[in-house]
Structure formats: C-alpha cells, structure tokens
Amino acid sequence: MTLDIYVVDAFTQKQFQGNQAAVVLLKEWLEPEIMQKIAMENNLAETAFIKEITPNKYEIRWFSPIVEIDFCGHATLASSFIIFNHFKCKDEIEFSTLKVGSLYIHQNDDGKIEMNFPNQEPQSIKDIPQDLLDGLSIKPIKVLQNRQAYFAIMDKEEDVENIEYNSIKLKQLAPFDVVATASSQKYDFVSRYFWPANGGDEDPVTGSIHSGLAPYWAKELSKTNLIAYQDSSRGGTLYCEIKGERVVISGFAVLYMQGKIYI
C-alpha cells in the first residue's frame, strides 16, 4: 500500500516556524492501530488523516504520537492548505469529525485560511488541582476549564514567557492539558500550551485551544476580533473572531515536504 503524505508548517508564513503537521490522504480508512503507528513514526505534534466523502467534504481524524485527538486546529489548517493549494479547491471545505461536529473552512485571496470552529469558552472552577499548581513555576491568578484543558490565567505576558513546567505533575491531569495565557501589549493575548498527557511537553502552536482562549479574551478585552501569539520556541500567529456559538480561527501555512508512505 502506498499513501501520499505532506508535512506543513501551520500558523506561519515562514518554514521552520509555526507548528508542523503531517497530512495523509486516504481512499478508505485504515485500522486505528495503523494510523497510530504512522503518527508515532512521523513523530510530529499531529498527523491528520483525511478521506474524501464528496467533492469539498472530507472526514478527518487526528493522531498525536501517543493517542488519537478529539480536535486539532493546526492539523486542520495543514489539511486545508493541501486541499486548497495542491488540489486547487476554490470553494468552502467541510470536515466531518468524530467529536466536534462539522468544521467549515475557506481560503481568502491573500492565502489566509479561515476555520469555523465551535465556541469552547472555558468556565471557572472552584477546586484547582494541586498537580496544576505544583506543575507550573508561576501561580496563576485564576484557573478555568473547558473540555480540552485547564486555563491558567497569568498576571502579565512575561509570566507566560518565563513560566517553567513539570511534565510529570501536569501529566497527572490527564485527559486534560494546560494552557497558560495573559493579555499582551503587542498582540491581544499570548499563550503557551503544555500537553504531556496527550502528545508531548509543549505544543508549538495550538489552533483548537484558541476556540476557548478567544471567547475568554473577547469578554475580558471587550472586542470580537483578536490577534493571538503562541509564544513557543517556533511561535505562531492566529487571527480570531467571535461569531456567537462559533469561533473563526485563521492563519497561514507553508509546505515543507511531500512524499510517500509504504505499508
């Protein structure tokens, strides 16, 4: 069996920045164990598997090197980039998912790809896990949670930049990950994302978590259009817009590699 594979740098306009994702095109679904092994072999933050249902409508599944993921933004962006730019799709794409419903994607004339995601605004929690507090070197001013992660709200953006994390402690929070975030002077807000329970120590740029970050900061900053920066070693810029029960997350992407998988 031979499969087409692409590697894309997402949420950036320059190679070697943003977040890498592999995109594997399928005619029929593989066994989950095989998809997991491919993701392990790729050893990237995420591998997306896409299967065409009808023209412009695809099923999509995402795998980290460790586990299948419910929702991944940057690998959705990478998959959309391939469909728009290498298969010359000009209309809106719909991705059907197992856990988060349908995702609607289109590309602007400038190459920016807009992804319409469900609004996953986090909620305040009363009982903050001790492993969360012990796992971060700087204490958050408050903690919230959604279906994906704990949100550690920091006092200032320097805290996000300088925070150190204990992967062993944060891994105890499974199945939840942790995002540290603060308002920013250059951007509207910044963040870093730690996910030792589901993928690795720190994710370079995490599109899915911005479906929770953007609604939170939209209320805090009293605005519906926001620019975010994920302050990892690779870094990435995300453009966010709140539209009621949906959140539009946009960004650019560049191709790094194209090849074949032989199974």
Query: Can you tell me which residue has the tokens 């704990």?
Result: 150
Token pair listed for 118: 């469900």
Whether the link from the prior residue into 204 is cis, omega within 30° of 0, is: no
Q: Is 126 exposed, middle or buried (0-12, 13-18, 19+ CB in 10 A)?
A: exposed
- As a whole number of Å, the end-to-end CA separation of the chain is 5
Q: If DSSP codes are grouped into helix, strand and coil, which group holds residue 181?
A: strand
Cα 253 to Cα 15, 78, 81, distances in angstroms: 9, 7, 7
* Residue 161 is among the residues annotated as catalytic for this protein: no
Catalytic residue among 46, 114, 121, 202: 46
Cα 144 to Cα 53, 111, 240, distances in angstroms: 37, 34, 20
User: Annotated catalytic sites, by residue?
Assistant: 46
